[in-house]
Structure 1
Amino acid sequence: MKNKLNRGRENKLYISLLLVAGLAFGVFLTSKTWMYDDSVIAQTAFNESIGGLSQTTLTLRDWEYNPKNELMEVTLERHHTGTDAVEPTFSFYAKEQNESQKYNAELVYQSDNNMVVQIEDVPESFQVIGLFVTEHRDQNILKQAYKKQLENKGGETTVTDQDIKESELPEPEEVIIVGDYRKIDTNQSLVTKTDKGYKKENIIADMERTKQEITSIIEEDIPFQEELITTLKKEKESLKQNMAFETNEEQTDTEREIEQKDKAIEDAKGEIEKLKKRVKDLRDKYQNREEKLNTLTQNKDDKQQQDNDKSDTKSTKKDQQAAPKNNQDKSNNGSKNSDEKNSKDSKKSSNDEKKPDKKKKDKAKKDEK
């Protein structure tokens, strides 16, 4: 009896331990969603220039994550700001903070100034992840720069490209773009798109940024300069009124201050003109992107229409091929019906011919009697 009781207690203890372990594991996995994290956010700023590369200025535009398929997507804008005649190429890999494991990062789309990089197999438990972007400059350009460097130092001028070892050239430069789970958007429908899909997405995002900049200039920047002009004019008028009660020396200082106010007013007016020109350029840019988007959408609609036309053509051909057969069947049926009708008429005629003969025979018998 004691053994049974002891076994029962041991089983309950094991079950309790398993439940506690399961609960702790669940808490660990879901802690990001409900526990407050007061650690410093280690996120690279969005929509700001990222330095560190000699030939390229990068800007982080978007960062999304799909926990279902453990896929991340990072959108970068690039601008060639260096002096190399040939733009550099890039390679990528990703790694979690304080972890040695590397995640595969692949460039899935690029245009003139945009790159979309996908990071694969990122577990939902990630906290901070770094995307390593390496800039690879053209080898011929690096060799030419190295030879010029030797010439400037008074070295040999007969060095050829073959004489230069790869180890003598500068190492590729690298920047780390950091993503924090608290700033990365969760997108349950994130998948790899087609080139047209990414192009359309980038155009729409560029249009939205352009629209926001126009709004900011019209509603904030220009009113600020106009308010500044109003304030400066009031201060200038007040200085003029006070001059009547000032000494000659004080009046000289006041006149100098009034001149400074006038200059500041002119500068503010000039800034307003620049801002208005900027708005005009941005509106032209917005219209240009809108036309690109319409063209892209129109091409897609045209392709769909062509596919529909091909489908209709195939259906018409099938109908045309089936039509002669149906007509032939109808013709055969008509001919068959005609033959049957002629046969019936022939039989009827034959019967009619036989009936008069019978009447003649009956009359002949009566005469004999």
Structure 2
Amino acid sequence: MKKPTNVLAEGTTKKYLIGLSAMAVAFLFFLFSGFLFGDEDHSEIQQTPLDEPLHLRGAGDLVVEEWTYNPSKNLMIVTLKVNKSTSILNDTLSFVAQEKEHPNRELPTHVEYHDDQRYVVSIQQVSPSFDVMALDIAKEKNEHFAPETEGQASLKGGEEKEELARIYTDQREVQQDQTLSLQTEQEYEVAAISQDIKQAQQEVVDKEKQIQKIDEQLKKMNQEMVELESQQMYETEEEKEKTTARIDQLENEVDRFQRETTEHETTIQTLQEKIKMLKEKREMMES
């Protein structure tokens, strides 16, 4: 009668061990699944840096000044500054937006404002979990124009598109603004003028810092020349020649630095005049 009891106990122990092993395997699977299959939260961030020049494939430079997202309105606004080269001066830029969540769907985009250098592009119907948003920038070049009347031209052919760049924003990095909404063209123009004023003011600050550094260098060099001239009184002829050569070198460097200072001062004056005119233009538009 004892033998069946032992068999029963042995079977129970085996079932217990099998169950424990299964739990251990499941625990290890969930523990290491992030390493095996990748974790979306730890995927590489795809974000085009703001305020840094981006080359447009031989067509100039592009700077992403701002990329803002309003999740409550499924709306994005992208502000771009384009330093066009002569190859695209007469071309129109077009934009196509796609999100990683739905890569086969092109989102509605519209150029809300643009001038010679700046584009403000809206992207609508953005998914709440877009993950990564890509914005393709291309140039559209109209060809085969035939004159109709003086100063006008008609399009008799198609349009060529050439992709210039693709920029990204990541859902983990994009700036969110719950108050973001579409504005009028005049409001965007005022904002563009304000941005130009801000950039010009920063250039003035940078030039002033450069002048300050030059002044510090000039003081050191002038002091060194005074010391060299003083020690010449106690030098041999050979030593005097070397000292004179060093003084001449310093004088040339002083002249170069002084020319740089003059150039910076001229640039500052030009920028200050530009700032004044931009402020006057902004005041007229806001009045």
Provide the TM-score with structure 1 as the length reference: 0.56
Q: Report the equivalent of 1:209.
A: 199
1:272 aligns with: 261
1:41-85 deviations in Å (ceiling 9; x for gaps): 54333333321333343222111111111211111112332256x
Question: 1:221-300 to 2 correspondence within 5 Å?
Answer: 221-244=210-233, 246-298=235-287
Q: Is the 8 A contact 1:53 1:135 kept in 2?
A: no
Map 1:121-136; keep pairs closer than 5 Å.
121-136=125-140
User: Which has the higher Rg, Structure 1 or Structure 2?
Assistant: 1
Residue 167 of structure 2 aligns with an amino acid whose one-letter code is I
The reply on whether 1:177 has 2:167 as its aligned counterpart is: yes
After superposition, give the CA deviation of every residue in 1:289-321 in whole Å (9 maximum; x if it has no partner): 1111121122xxxxxxxxxxxxxxxxxxxxxxx
Percent identity reads 25
1:188-236 per-residue CA deviation (whole Å, 9 max, x = no partner) reads: 1111111111111111222222222223333x22211111111222233
Q: What are the Cα deviations for residues 262-296 of structure 1, in whole angstroms up to 9, with x where unaligned?
A: 12211211111111111111111111111111211
> 93, 104, 108: which one pairs with 1:104?
108
Q: Which has the higher helix share?
A: 1
The one-letter amino acid of 1:203's match is: I
Higher strand share: 2
User: What is the one-letter code of the residue matched to 1:225?
Assistant: I
Deviations 1:143-167 (A, max 9, x none): xxxxxxxxxxxxxxxxxxx9xx99x
Question: In the alignment, which residue of structure 2 is the partner of 1:64?
Answer: 68
**Counterpart in the other structure of 1:90:** 93
Equivalent positions of 1:323-338 (< 5 A) are: none
CA contact (8 A) 1:55 1:88 kept: no
SS in 2 for 1:47: coil
Root mean square deviation, CA, Å: 3.0
Match of 2:22 in 1: none
Q: 1:40 to 1:225 in 2, by over 3 A?
A: farther
Structure 1 unmatched ranges of 5 or more:
1-36, 142-161, 299-369
| Aligned pairs for 1:21-170 within 5 A | 42-83=46-87, 87-96=90-99, 100-101=103-104, 102-139=106-143
Q: 1:232 to 1:124 in 2, by over 3 A?
A: farther
Q: Aligned equivalents of 2:79 and 2:261: distance in 1? A: 33
Taking structure 2 as the reference length, what is the TM-score of the superposition? 0.70
Q: Describe how 1:335-354 pairs up with structure 2 within 5 A.
A: none
CA contact 2:142–2:160 (8 Å) conserved in 1: no
CA contact (8 A) 2:101 2:132 kept: no
- Give the Cα separation in 2 of the matches to 1:171 and 1:121: 25
Offset at 1:250?
Answer: 4.2
Counterpart in the other structure of 1:186: 176
